[in-house]
Amino acid sequence: MKLWKKNSSPHQINAIIYKIRSCSIIMTRAADLLRRLSREGILVPEQVKRAILKVDLEHFTDYDVAPFYADRPVPYIESNSGNIKTISAPHMIITLLHHMELAVGQEIIVIGCKGGYLSALIATIVGENGRVNVLDPSTEVVNHAKERLSHWPTVEIRAVEDLEVAPIAFPGEFNRVIMTGQIESIPQWIKSRVCDGGFVIAPLGDVDSQNLMKIEFQENIELETNLGNVCFGPIDLDSNQNNHLNPKELADLIELSIETCEELEIIDYEELHSLQDLVAKLNNLPDDTPPIGEGGIPVSDHPMVKLLWHYSPSFLRLWPIIQVMLHPMISNFDLNTWNRFDDDENIDW
């Protein structure tokens, strides 16, 4: 442990004490989380536990990390198009790392940055003789991860224009590949480069539901293991064009947000009642109501937008949390700019 010199200034000493205390708090929160997950039946390998205790999550996001320690995803960036990217919930990160069967000295391919946090955990486990190569289709996400991983010499991050096309001068043979976002099928160029005995882990399916699949390659045979149902956002979120919600889909997602806020004990009675009323009103809209941005209806005149505006005073405090949980389409709405509506506007429900 590095000690301060006798002639260190009070400011330097205070800074060192603050850093020690901060590290202690972070480790305590992480340790409490790991103990809780273990009690709930999540298998936490010892090497994964050490990595989570060592790597500071707060280095990879500027958002509040409290949801993470409640076993929830935490955002790390909002793209220019308004989509929010998140670091997965701890139980899912642990599950992914467990099934990766990581060992010291391995070279790992990670597709989808996840803020750089997952890559840092992997790099910690494989050690200084290992290597982590990260690909992501978003330049914004890549720039974020490069900044946060600038002091990790064993991690290399690259942007790719198209996941279906092999990047130039990329390592030729893979042993371990992990895809951290929804994808319908594993690109052929990845499958063709997995060595005998290697495998790919990926959430395969549509945007609403996937199966976490482990696909092993042995003598030109693909052996599939279904690790369970999951729901990841797309790896290339901004390229996902079918992201408009109809009223009932929005109602379902708000109900999910209500349940989460209740579990976290961050919603009061009035907010709860108002959001439940909003859900009921959304469900009562006509079945043929087009999604926001479709059907030729101006956004400000759309009944879903009017409903959100009408109820916005009741959930403004919770909006940052709801915004993360809801569909990317809803994350584009900035409640602070909705002043184009008249507070006294007569809205016919």
CA distance 109 to 171: 9
Q: What is the pLDDT of residues 168-216, one digit of tens each?
A: 878 778 999 999 999 999 999 999 999 999 999 999 998 777 899 999 9
Quick one: tokens of 80? 């220019």
The residue ranges of every structural domain in the chain are 12-239, 247-340
The predicted pLDDT at position 56 comes to: 93
Q: Low-confidence residues of the chain, pLDDT below 50?
A: 1-6, 13, 16-25, 239-243, 327-349
The predicted pLDDT at position 4 comes to: 43
Q: Which CATH superfamily is domain 12-239 in?
A: Vaccinia Virus protein VP39 (3.40.50.150)
Q: How far is CA 18 from the centre of its chain?
A: 29
**119 to each of 113, 125, 148, 220, how far by Cα in Å?**
7, 10, 11, 29
Quick one: tokens of 40? 């709930």
Say if residues 200 and 251 touch (Cβ distance below 8 Å): no
CB atoms within 10 A of CB 39: 8
The predicted pLDDT at position 241 comes to: 44
Residue type, 180: T
CA distance 302 to 305: 5
The predicted pLDDT at position 322 comes to: 65
DSSP assignments along 198-228, one per residue: EEEEEEEE-SS-EEEEEEEEETTEEEEEEEE
Q: Angle formed by the axes of helices 90-99 and 10-39, to 10°?
A: 70
The predicted pLDDT at position 253 comes to: 81
